[in-house]
Each structure stands twice: as structure tokens, then as C-alpha cells.
Amino acid sequence: SLLDRLISMGMEVHMLSVQYRMHPLIAEFPSWRFYNHKLETGIKPEDRPVMKLKDLDLGTMAIIHVGTAESSQGMSKSNPGEAECVEFLLRTLRDSRCHLAEVGVVTPYSGQVS
């Protein structure tokens, strides 16, 4: 990873000890991979309220598999099926009175943003 390369080049490392943004299940990977299991989570899963959504029960975290094909878009990739799924989820959140300013959507592909 980029972090591994920077560390191997001698970059000074400043490590977090507690994180508050990620769900604990998501935080397990960076804790294992980059922090030698030492990254703690400051918020327990039960402290994250379950949002009541119309016709959808996702709990406090959801990983959703979208079985559609991705395509190359220049040097990047895109997957219209995934984008449609995200759009549906955002509409559902908005219709359930979630403030979309508090929602983040992350993709590693610039082609997926458009």
C-alpha cells in the first residue's frame, strides 16, 4: 500500500490510538493491517443508533454485494449497477429524514464518481 511504501522510505510515523469514525467491524482491518491490532474504537456498536429506514433494514452497518459487471473507463473502472444501488440507498436515507451531509460514499475509482 501507499502507507507501506512511505514507511519503507523512512517517513516518520504517527499512529492513532483511538478512532471514532469507523464502525468497529470496519476498523478491524486497519487495526490489524497497519496498527498491529492496537487501534481501539472509541464508540461501541450499541452506541450507534439504528436508523429506521422505509422498507429497508440495514442495522448500524451494511456491506452490500452488487452482482453487476464493472467496465474499464480509461485508466479507471466503473460499475453502473453499483452506482444505481448507491443512488437507491441515498434516496432511501433522504426519504427517512437522514441528513445526507452526514453520509459519505467512498469509491477507489474516479470513473465511478461520474
Q: What is the pLDDT of residues 28-84, one digit of tens each?
A: 999 999 899 999 999 887 888 787 787 788 877 778 899 999 999 888 889 999 999
DSSP lists the bridge partners of residue 76 as: 73
Q: What is the pLDDT of residue 63?
A: 82
Q: What is the pLDDT of residue 20?
A: 92
* Nine-digit cell string for 100: 445526507
Q: What is the pLDDT of residue 67?
A: 93
Residue 18: how many CA atoms within 13 Å on its side-chain side? 4
Overall pTM surpassing 0.85 (yes/no): no
Residue with cell 464508540: 43
Name the 3-class secondary structure at 10: coil
Give the whole-angstrom CA distance, residue 98 versus residue 73. Answer: 32
Q: What is the pLDDT of residue 47?
A: 83
Residue 24: how many CA atoms within 13 Å on its side-chain side? 10
Instruction: Calculate the average pLDDT of the chain.
Output: 87
Question: What does the pLDDT average to over 10-27?
Answer: 88
Name residue 55's amino acid: D
Give the whole-angstrom CA distance, residue 79 versus residue 86. Answer: 11
Q: What is the pLDDT of residue 26?
A: 87
